[in-house]
A and B are shown apart, each in its own frame.
Chain A
Amino acid sequence: ETGVTQTPRHLVMGMTNKKSLKCEQHLGHNAMYWYKQSAKKPLELMFVYNFKEQTENNSVPSRFSPECPNSSHLFLHLHTLQPEDSALYLCASSQDWDISGFYNEQFFGPGTRLTVL
């Protein structure tokens, strides 16, 4: 285990549903990330939070809404998703102090397998 947990592990939802993905890190890190992993495609960075502030949003549709209430928890709120949003959603965390060293190695959670019907 990497110290990053995600719930739920599997989620099936309709296009009109609202659901949330949760990520928690037990590593004392101050940066957290959401990635989308689709079949046969590279991981796509969606959002980055540093010290609870969103620092990057890689042109993600507004139907994905992140929330970072503290440096240990990260949520991804989902609403009116499309079938093409079905994917594995990975959370990661890192210690984002020293950009010149390996302190900001990213540790990944097990992911949430999302299916949108």
Chain B
Amino acid sequence: AQTVTQSQPEMSVQEAETVTLSCTYDTSESDYYLFWYKQPPSRQMILVIRQEAYKQQNATENRFSVNFQKAAKSFSLKISDSQLGDAAMYFCAYRSASSGSARQLTFGSGTQLTVLP
């Protein structure tokens, strides 16, 4: 079974600065997808960024980028030029690419990010 670990329950960053959230995972599969979801205080979870395991290039979405290290099974999220609206709980998630279990997301326990003005 896959597991996802987020070792930082809480993080804080100064507005306009850069912060990196850590995520590691454990799997025996070679093909899978990784995601970062954001859950603001309003509670609606939204997808921030995604990465296909077979792609070596790190995904980037505006101020959000990932550092995907497949051999180390590490998938960190970097937020540049942090804004007050980035304050939220961030979840790392894993999804297998094999049939049957592909629809199941495995989540980490989350990192609460505070942005300081």
- Residues on A close to B: CB < 8 A? 1-2, 31, 33, 40-43, 45, 48, 50, 55-56, 88, 90, 92, 94, 96, 99-100, 102, 104-111
Shortest CB-to-CB span from B93 to chain A, Å, is 8
Nearest residue (CB) in B for A112 is B43
- Within 8 Å CB of A40, what residues of B? 9, 109
A-B contact count (CB 8 A): 57
B75 lies within 8 A of chain A by Cβ: no
A45 in contact with B105 (CB, 8 Å): yes
Nearest residue (CB) in A for B35 is A105
- Residues on B close to A: CB < 8 A? 4, 9, 33, 37, 42-47, 50, 91, 97-99, 102-110
B91 in contact with A110 (CB, 8 Å): no
B42 in contact with A110 (CB, 8 Å): yes
A111 in contact with B43 (CB, 8 Å): yes
Shortest CB-to-CB span from A105 to chain B, Å, is 6
B9 in contact with A42 (CB, 8 Å): no
- Within 8 Å CB of A96, what residues of B? 103
Among A42, A48, A88, the residue within 8 A (CB) of B108 is A42
Among A43, A50, A108, the residue within 8 A (CB) of B44 is A108
Shortest CB-to-CB span from B37 to chain A, Å, is 8
- Within 8 Å CB of B109, what residues of A? 40-42
Nearest residue (CB) in A for B37 is A108
